[in-house]
Amino acid sequence: MLALALTLTVLAAPPRGLPAPHSVELVTEIDKRLPKWLAGEGDLKALWANPKELEAHFLSRGVKKPDVAAMVAATVKEQADKAGLQQFNGTRAFVEYVGKAATLHAFDEEGHRCEVSLLAVGTEAAQRYVVLGGPRTDTKSFEAIAERLRQDKEMVVFLEKKDGAWATGAVPPPPPPDCTGVLKSALKTIFTAEKAYFAEKDAYSNSLSKVGVDVKTLGITSAKVSVAGAAPQQTFTIQVGLKGGIMTMDDKGTVLTVADCPPVK
């Protein structure tokens, strides 16, 4: 009986997935495998989520059973796609958790992002992950992903790599808006308001309050709309200013810089 028990123990398959009780371990495990994964080598294929795991995942996300088979097939096909980059040295990362799914967004110093989608298959006490998809590489910026994660308000962990080791930290605050960005945003807001006003009144207006725009909320120091022609055959030009920078936009959406914003110090 003892011999049989020992035999079964030896023959038992090892548990599935990457052992990762915490975000640091998860990022560390992926980071050390990434050079081979990007080349389609290493243990990536062994860690891919299998059809049974994918089916359970999609059903848990509310996908209707008749649609699951097609989604599983598409995911299995995508798993074989190779990343655009063959080398990646991440220094900052987010791990985004949604239910049992987790997504690693890693960023290097050259403006590249590496994404790996994961699925928890272990227990709360001994968490393990298989790979849903990736690694995929692109040029989505750290700031863009950070802003999206702030808006989604999912559970997110931020990590940095210092002296070769990953550690969690506070999410960096968003950078202050630059002068040019504020001007362009203000132009877009006023342009949208004028178009909405025209759709209702068959005319544009040079009164920002009449079209529903509060200049104080736009972060600019000056704004005016010049309307030309008789309704409904009218055109308009918006001019906004901030810190010496001046930009305009016409009714076709064409933007012109009249005076450059001061350089960022």
Query: What are 118-135's pLDDT values in tens digits?
Result: 999 877 777 889 999 989
User: For position 264, what pLDDT does the model report?
Assistant: 67
* 164 within a domain of the structure (yes/no): yes
- Could you tell me if 22 and 140 lie in one domain? yes
Query: What are the pLDDT digits (tens) for 167-176?
Result: 998 888 877 7
Q: Does residue 138 share a domain with residue 108? A: yes
- Backbone dihedral angles phi then psi of residue 180, each to the nearest 5 degrees: -65, -40
Query: Is residue 10 over pLDDT 60?
Result: no
Q: What is the mean pLDDT of the chain?
A: 88
Is the same domain home to 159 and 184?
no
Domain containing 194 equals 179-259
Q: Are 129 and 69 contained in the same domain?
A: yes
C-alpha span between 144 and 150 (Å, rounded): 10
The 10s digit of each residue's pLDDT in 86-97 is: 899 999 999 999
Is the model's pLDDT at 105 over the cut of 80? yes
In a domain, 265, yes or no: no
Tell me the pLDDT tens digit for each residue of 161-203. 998 999 998 888 877 778 988 999 999 999 999 999 999 999 9
Peptide bond between residue 15 and the one before it cis (omega within 30 degrees of 0)? no
Residues 37 and 148 grouped into a single domain: yes
pLDDT value, residue 225:
95
Both 18 and 132 in one domain: the answer is: yes
How much of the chain exceeds pLDDT 70, in percent?
94
Among the three residues 125, 150, 169, which one is the final residue of a domain in this structure?
169
pLDDT of residue 6: 46
For the residues of 114-179, what is the DSSP string, one character each?
EEEEEEE-S-SSS-EEEEEEEEEEE---HHHHHHHHHHHT-EEEEEEEETTEEEEEPPPPPPPPPH
Q: Please compute Rg for the chain using Cα positions.
A: 26
Residue after which a domain boundary falls, among 142, 169, 196: 169
Residues 123, 219, single domain; the answer is no
What per-residue confidence (pLDDT) applies to 178? 85
Residue 99 tokens read as 């239910």
Confidence band of 33 (pLDDT split at 50, 70, 90)? very high
Residues 161 and 207 in one domain: no
Q: Is residue 1 situated within a structural domain?
A: no
Does residue 7 fall inside a structural domain? no
Whether residues 59 and 142 share a domain: the answer is yes
Q: What is the pLDDT of residue 9?
A: 45
235/150 same-domain check: no
pLDDT surpassing 70 at residue 1: no
Q: Answer yes or no: is 97 within a domain.
A: yes
Tell me, what's the pLDDT at 57? 87
> Which DSSP state fits 216?
G
Task: Judge whether 91 lies within some domain.
Answer: yes
The total number of structural domains that make up the chain: 2
Of 44-58, 182-196, 244-258, least confident by mean pLDDT is: 44-58
Note whether 191 and 141 are same-domain residues: no
Same domain, 107 and 232: no
Q: Note the pLDDT of residue 8.
A: 44
